Each structure stands twice: as structure tokens, then as C-alpha cells.
A and B are shown apart, each in its own frame.
Chain A
Amino acid sequence: MRRALGIAVFTAGVVAAGTGAAQDAYVIGVTAGMTGPAAATYAPVIDAMKAYLDHVNAKGGINGRQVRLIITDDAGEPSRAGANAKRLISEKALMVVNSSLSSTFAPILAETKRAGIPLYFAGAVCPKETYPPADPLQFCSTAFGATLDSQAALAFVRSQAKEPVRLGLAAMAIPIARSEIDYAEGLSKTLGMTPVEKQITPPPAPDYTPFATKLKEANPNWVYSWAPWVSQVRTFEALRRLGWNGRYVTWAHLNAEEELVRLKDGELYVFGTNAFFQDDLPIHAEIRAVTHKANLKYPTTYLTEGFIAGLVIESVLTNTPWPPTPAKVTAAMNNLKVDLKGLRGGPLEWTKDNHFRTRQYYRVWKWDPAKQAVVRVQDWVPIDVKQ
């Protein structure tokens, strides 16, 4: 009897301590494609974000409180993402972070809207609801931005081209990439370019030679591709194998810096909004130190996006008074300015109507065969994000 009572008291104490610890922490829920076909895109973001927040916790936390991350894996599957969101809400998450395929957005959003909890896309493509006029509960810090990216890319092409541009276009058969490349096709005509061929490749394709063959036959002197990296780079490599010698401009995904070194092609241009590690900024040293301590298995150059997500969450929670509630977190997110320490061209700013950012900055890089190094071809060019 006494033994049973002792066990009961001990158990109650453990539960109470756990509950108290949870209540004493900012709880952030994450549902991400940690496994599955797109894990290479999303898992590094979450791992880097976690490493940064663990680092913040080790330094004493935020406002004297720890940040508790609950990470769930949806493997890019909508049903799992919806179930994860339910679980995270039941565990009193103040915010749900999504880093997964766009097919997971709807089920997560259904749950977070019902619960009145902000949904933060970090590493996942920014839905148009984060652009002005923004949905009250959707926020996004992911680097790439629909329509803005094509504006930046084609402006670069026009600045570099010394002859009339015959533009080839390549994308993957997913809605966001198709609509972006369709937009680019229309935009290119207004800029005096001639779109000569557009290839939409299925996800995934084991061999891109057939698609590259059609592109090459149209004889473009420039090709613009906006798609997951695998589609972008395989199309490029297939074009080169077929003997095409033109210039290729494409979005700088997580692995772009490393891939430029691997490919060593002087006519491959990548454009993006995150600074490369070759800049060797103080923040890059910090990323290296933090992620080395966390023993992350990804190359350091993959981790900028996740670090930015960590900086954003830190800033949001710093401005969230205790005790936190989803409404207070949302209020903090509606009036946010995060110093990214050079990781992007400027601070990340969210307002009540703009949950994407007020200004997007772009750089362009390529491999320089003479210097045997990645070089910056164009420094930060800002584009205002308007309604």
C-alpha cells in the first residue's frame, strides 16, 4: 500500500514537473518533410532552425524562457501533415511551422485556422496568401518568391545579353513552377525577348535528355529555369551533354553554392536572395559553429534558410510578452523587423498586410573558370513587394 502510494506521488511529481517545464517554455510546433521524396529540400531547414534555437536555449533562452520545439515528420503527405497539425495544437503550440510540399498546406491550414494559431512557412514555398493583402494567420520567410524571381532573373538576362534574346524556359510539372514559368514567358515578351521553347518536365524524370533535346532544337541563347533544383540542374546538364553552349539562369536553391563548384560551368548563373558562404560574414562563422556543435550531417552551405527561420522565431518570441498566447504571437508577427545580419540584402519585415516581406533582394553568382572560384556577378538588387 505504502509502496503504491509512493509510486503514485512520484509519478504525480514527474508529471507536474514536466507540465510546469512545458508551461515555462515557448512551444513551437513543426510539421516538415523530414523524410520522403523532398526531404533534401526541407530537412536541412528544420535541422538548422533547431540547431539555432538550441543554441539560443543554451545561452539562456528568450526572455528567460526556453523554446521547446516539437518536430513532426509529414513525409510530404497531406494526411500526415493534417494529423501532425492536430497533435501540435493539442500540445499547445503557439505557432505551427511548415517546411514541406505545398500539398500539405491545406490540411494544416484547416487546423490552424480553426485553432486561431499562426502558420509560418519556413523553407516551404510562400503561398500567395502571405503576399499583400495577407491572410491574418499565414506568414512566410522562404527565400524564393513567385513572380518576383522571374522579374529579377529576366532583368538580369536583359542586362547581360549583347544580342537579341531567344529564351528557352524549363520548369517541373508542379503548379507553382508551371505558373511561374508561364508568367516568365509572358514577361519576357514585354521585355523584348523571344520565348522559343518551353519544356515542363514530370516529377521526377530519370533522364532529362528528351526534354533538353526539344529545348536545344529551338536554338535558344538563354534558358531560364525555375523549379526544384533536381529539375533545373538535370535539364542544364542534359543540354550541355547535347552540345548546347548557351547561358543558363536558374534559382539558387539550398545547394546552389556547392553545385556551382561541382559543375564548374562559366555560363551557368544562379540568382537568389540568400548570401553565399563565400562572403565569409560573421554570421557565417556563427552558422558553422552552431551547426558543427549540433553535428548536423548537411553541408554548411545548405543551412542559411533554416538559420533565418531561427532568427525569425527568436525575434517573434522576443516581442511576445509572457504568458504567450497565439494571439500575442500573431501580433508580434504582424509588426516584425528581423536583422538577418547580412544573410539577405536587407531585414525581413512583416506588416499587418504583408506577411511575405516588404522588399526582396537578389544577387547573381556564377563559376569563374579563370579564377576557379564562385564569383558574384550582380550585387543586391531590391524589388519592392507591392499589392
Chain B
Amino acid sequence: MLVYRVSRVISLAHGELMMLGAYGLFTTASLFSGHPLVAIAVSAVLAVTVGGLVYLALMRRMTGESVLAAVLATIALGILLRGTMVLVWGPQERHPLQALGWANTSISIGGTAKISAVSLTLVLATAAVYLGLWVFLRYTRWGIRMRAAGQNALLAAQRGIGLHGIYALAWGLATFTGGLAGMLIACDSALEQTMVVIGLKAFPAALVGGLDSLAGALVGSLVVAAAEVLLIHYVNPLLSDVVPFLVLLAMLIVRPWGLFGTREELDRV
């Protein structure tokens, strides 16, 4: 959403970048054995750096090209990353939480509900990231510049805003948030190649909420997740993979620009 809002490019490599963040944590946890906080900090820095490098090495060359070309470039990037990760880390399952030396205990909420410690951390981290992004975009100089570039790149450039720096920052932040999600999901369950499926499910959530709306992405995620869990529980568990896309289809028919997106975004796409 962040990358799209700033540069009008949908990154279809987000699932792979999410998985790369998780593998980064696994690697740093193994390298800094006994120092989990150092491992986490280093992997976070790596995630931001990877995002910036993706922009500088690949997406920068797509600037000025058609949106389709840029999207295809992200698809190719995703395929490349997936193959590279198999070559480097192998296809077997990894357990970053075990490498960090931590356990995923079960926490009771309200007497009957239970949640794992990592899942709770995921929820809290999501809230913190959202708050941080909101503050960043609304009140900081770079955040305002980012919003300006997203609204009118030509005018922003003419006003002296360095677009390449803004886009690189957007990619860095997006890769960081995706990597953070990957790290936490991998800690909650395990890390293996099928994690990219989670990245795929992020698209319906973003599109349902509105591609250019931060709040919309949050609401869209809740809508899709609720639909998925309720249908699994009350209808058929095998619907879990198709539910997000059924919700997306319904939204595209009823309100194609999403719950909180701007209508003109649809025309542009």
C-alpha cells in the first residue's frame, strides 16, 4: 500500500520480501546466538536496506516506464527471490524462534480465549507500526514529502523533492513492515517456502480497504480475516484459501475503489 501510494506501482513481490525478512531473522539469530535482541535489530536494519536496494537496483530503472512494466518487474523479482532463498537456505522448514532461544507460550485472555505470545506480539506490533506510519506520514518532513510525491510526482519534483530518495524510502519502509510480518509469522509457526501464500492474501485486504488508504488496509484486513475465520468455522475449512478472493471479487463488483480508496485511483489503474 505504501509503495503504491507513493509511486503507483503494485509490488507483487511483497510475499517474497516478507519471507526474505523471516530468513534474515533466522540467519541473524543463528549468527548472534545468545543475543536475540541484537539479532532482531540487525534483521530489521537488513530489511530496510534490502527494500532500498530493490528500488535502487531495479525499480529506479522502471521510473517513467509504464505501470505494467514496473509490475512485471516486481513479479520477476519475486520469482528470483524465491529461487534464491531455496538455493541459500534450502527447502526444509526453519524455526527462527528456536534459533532466538525463545518459546512461544500460550496466554489466556478473559478466561476462555487463548493466544500465543508471538501472535499477541504480532497484534501489538501491527498497532505500533500503524501508529508509527500515521505519525510519520502526517507530521514528519519526509512523510509529508512522501505524500506530496504520491499526490503529484511532477509538482513535487519541481518543488525540489528528490523523488528517487522518496521512492527508496517507501520501498525500505514497505520491505521493513513486510519483513517484520514475516519474522513474526515465522516465529509463531515456522518458516518455509509456502509463506508466500500469506503475501498473496495481503492483496485482497489492501484492495478491499482501498489501495491508497492506510486506514482502509487495516479495515480491509479485518474484513477479510473475519470472513475467512467465520467461514472456516461455520461452513467449510477448505474455503480458507478462496475466501479472501471471494471478498475481493464482491468488493470489486460493488465498490471497485475499495472501502476507503479514492475513485480516481481506479481510473488510473
Contact = CB atoms under 8 A, between A and B. Distances in A.
A158 interface: no
Given A206-B195, A230-B194, A240-B106, A43 B91 contact: yes
Nearest to A44: B92
Contacts, number: 80
Contact of A241 (B104, B228, B233): B104
B238 interface: yes
A39 B119 CA distance: 28
B180 to A, nearest CB: 16
Interface residues of A, number: 35
B98 A262 contact: yes
Nearest to B116: A241
Nearest to A243: B114
Given A37-B193, A234-B189, A202 B238 contact: yes
Given A40-B192, A206-B195, A262-B95, A200 B86 contact: no
Contacts of B116: 241
Contacts of A214: 232-233, 237
Given A37-B193, A230-B192, A255 B93 contact: yes
Contacts of B106: 240-243
A198 B86 CA distance: 34
Interface residues of B, number: 33
B244 to A, nearest CB: 11
A173 B238 contact: yes
B201 to A, nearest CB: 7
B197 interface: yes
Interface in B185-218: 185, 189-190, 192-195, 197-198, 201
A380 interface: no
A297 B88 CA distance: 11
B91 A202 contact: no
Given A35-B86, A37-B193, A211 B238 contact: no
Interface string A183-208: 00000000000000001111011111
Contacts of A204: 194, 197
Interface in A87-146: none
Contacts of A37: 193-194
Contact of A302 (B86, B92, B193, B194): B92
Given A241-B114, A298-B90, A210 B95 contact: no
Interface in A205-242: 205-208, 210-211, 213-214, 229-230, 233-234, 237, 240-242
Nearest to B113: A242
Nearest to B95: A262
Contacts of A202: 237-238, 240-241
Interface string A63-82: 00000000000000000000
A35 B87 CA distance: 9
A386 to B, nearest CB: 34
A162 to B, nearest CB: 26
A229 B238 CA distance: 18
Q: Interface centre among B90, B93, B228, by most A CB within 10 Å?
A: B93
Contacts of B228: 210
A200 B91 CA distance: 24
Contacts of A40: 90-93, 192-193
Given A206-B189, A234-B189, A243-B114, A211 B194 contact: no
B92 to A, nearest CB: 4
B229 interface: yes
A39 to B, nearest CB: 4
A210 B237 contact: yes
Contacts of A302: 92
A349 to B, nearest CB: 32
Interface string A27-44: 000000001010110011
A241 B114 CA distance: 7
B60 to A, nearest CB: 30
B114 A242 contact: yes
Contacts of A39: 86, 91, 193
Nearest to B107: A241
A200 B106 CA distance: 24
Q: Which of A229, A243, A255 is most buried by chain B, counting CB atoms within 10 A of its CB? A: A243
Given A214-B237, A241-B114, A242-B106, A206 B93 contact: no
Interface in B149-170: none
A282 to B, nearest CB: 27
A302 B92 CA distance: 10
Nearest to B236: A200
B92 A210 contact: no
- Output the residue of B86, B91, B95, B194 with the most chain A CB within 10 A: B91
A43 B241 CA distance: 27
Contacts of B92: 40, 44, 255, 298-299, 302
A4 to B, nearest CB: 42
A41 to B, nearest CB: 8
Interface in B2-18: none
A43 B104 CA distance: 30
Given A39-B193, A206-B185, 19 more contacts: A40-B90, A202-B237, A206-B194, A206-B198, A207-B189, A208-B189, A211-B232, A213-B233, A214-B237, A229-B93, A230-B190, A230-B192, A233-B190, A234-B189, A234-B190, A241-B115, A243-B114, A297-B90, A299-B92
19 contacts: A39-B86, A43-B91, A44-B92, A200-B238, A206-B194, A206-B195, A206-B198, A210-B232, A211-B232, A211-B237, A213-B233, A229-B93, A234-B189, A237-B189, A243-B114, A255-B92, A262-B95, A262-B98, A302-B92
Interface of A: 35, 37, 39-40, 43-44, 173, 199-202, 204-208, 210-211, 213-214, 229-230, 233-234, 237, 240-243, 255, 262, 297-299, 302
Which 10 A/B pairs are nearest by Cβ-Cβ distance? A39-B91, A204-B194, A40-B91, A210-B232, A206-B198, A40-B92, A241-B116, A241-B106, A202-B241, A243-B114
